[in-house]
Structure formats: structure tokens, C-alpha cells
Amino acid sequence: MRNEQITGTIKTFPGMPGAALRLLALIDDPNVTVQQIEGILRQDPGLTANLLKLANSAYFGIPSKVGSVRQAVVLLGLKRLVQMVIAACTSAVMDRPVPGYDLPAGELWRHSLAVSVAAEGLVGELKLEASEEIFTAALLHDVGKLILGQFVQEDYAKIELALSQGLPFETAEAIVLGTDHAQIGADVLTKWALPPAIVNAVRWHHAPEKSVGVDTMLDVVHVANLLCRMIGIGMGRDGLHQQPSPEVTRRLGVTSAHLEKVASQTLQWANELSAALAA
């Protein structure tokens, strides 16, 4: 019965706006033109306005004002522009309170932005060869909580009983609900037709060792998520007593010095992006 209710909620969950989906479809097309991109965004003035706000945020540090989609594409590149479109599209839905996980309004979005910028910070600090899609994977890693939150709240007594036996939160929710927020998030992103690499990173961000093969994007999202929790961003009921996978930290070559440096910058970066979207 629970599975049916959860599946039904996924089906009614808001989809990605058409403009964002059309841009995603073009992202790997080497022949895409600025005119095509402008044509798609022209159909959604609100999305265009949010995109330009982001392009002009302090996070990107572009010295001259970005006044058009054409300028944004030239200065940011198509892949970065699509990331910002997805951020603009998802900010409203992810800004709401999340019952069950004890996240007040705005906290899930704040955590998601922080994990995105921390992931990019880790890529830069560790000099990794990583896909540009890492920002989007990190931004959406907890989207499944928006669906599962009400069910966690209803069955929290049972989940708490499982937690009292020393189980991780995502294991407890899987035992009680038959699924966890990472799986639900992956299901949502599959519905949105996002690239498989992003879906995989979201699916296994709590258990990267269970993913098939080594995936740098997944590894970085895993570490960035826990780093943000360590510094107190997104500390809900499930945020306690978690450490990055030793196997992942060894693979990436992460040291405490790397984590400290990225952590010191993450809050500022996330605030700059958040301020741009709220403006």
C-alpha cells in the first residue's frame, strides 16, 4: 500500500518546465546555435529573468552586466547556462518545508545549493576531471525528500525504532517504507529525462560503493553532501553521525585540509547564489 501511495506521489510531482527539457536535449549537440537557445528561452520570460539574475550574481564574478541570453551563453557556455536554468526551475519547489526530515522552509534549498558549490569547490581543489553536470547532480541529490517527507512523518515512530538499533537513516526509511529518498530522487529525475549520470549520482549518493564502477561525479556529490552537513547546512533528522566513505575519500585523495578549505568558502558561495534567486 505504501509503495502505491509513494508511486502515485511521484506521478503527480511537478515536471521540469518544457524550456528546461528542450535545453537539456540540446546540451550535447555540437551544432546548437545561440539563436536556438534564445528561441527556447523566449517562450518563458520568467525563466529568462531568473537566468540573467544568476548570471549577474557575485558567484560568477562576471565584471560586466549580463543583459541578454546571448551574452549569458557566450560568457557561461551552454552547459553552465543549462545548470542555471535547472536551478531557477527547481528553486520554488525545493524552498518549501520538508516534514519528516525536520527541515524548515528554505533549508533543503540552502543545503542543495551548498552541496552544489561544495562539489564544484572539491573538483577545483582536487584538480579532478569531472563532468560539468556535477553541479546539477549535487543540486538535485535530495529531491526525493520532497516526496518521501510526508511518509517519513507518518511512519516516524517505526523509523525511530529502526534508528535505535544503530541503523543509518536511509536504511531505516528503506526498511519501513520499502524505499529511500535517494531511490525516489532517482525516479523523479528519470521522469524528468535527466542524463543517466546525474540519476546515478542521486541514486547512490549515500552508498557510492553500491554503484556499478567508479564514478567521480557520484564520489564528489557524496563527499560534498556530508561536508555541508558537517558545517551545519541541512542538518535534519537524518544528518547525524555520518562520515564520508573511506573508499571514496581514498579514491579522490581528499584530506582534511581540502575539506577545510572548501568548507570555508561554501557558505559564501551558496549565499551568493541564493541571494540571486531570491532577488
pLDDT at position 27 over 80 = no
- Kindly state the average pLDDT of the residues 245-258: 93
Q: Where exactly are the structural domains of the chain? A: 2-278
In the chain, % of residues over pLDDT 90: 44
Mean pLDDT of the chain: 88
Q: 67 vs 235, which has greater pLDDT?
A: 67
d(CA 140, CA 137): 5
3-class state of residue 66 by DSSP: coil
Q: 18 vs 220, which has greater pLDDT?
A: 220
**pLDDT tens for residues 35-50?**
898 888 888 888 888 8
Confidence of residue 64 (pLDDT cuts 50, 70, 90): confident
Q: Please state which architecture CATH assigns to domain 2-278.
A: Orthogonal Bundle (1.10)
Residue 216 and residue 238 in contact, taking contact as beta carbons nearer than 8 Å: no
Q: 158 vs 19, which has greater pLDDT?
A: 158
pLDDT at position 234 over 70 = no
Long-range Cβ contact pairs of 194-202 (< 8 A, separation 24 or more): 194/16, 194/24, 194/136, 194/140, 195/24, 195/133, 197/131, 197/133, 197/137, 198/133, 198/136, 198/137, 198/140, 201/134, 201/137, 201/138, 201/141, 202/137, 202/140, 202/141, 202/143, 202/144
- Kindly state the average pLDDT of the residues 92-116: 89
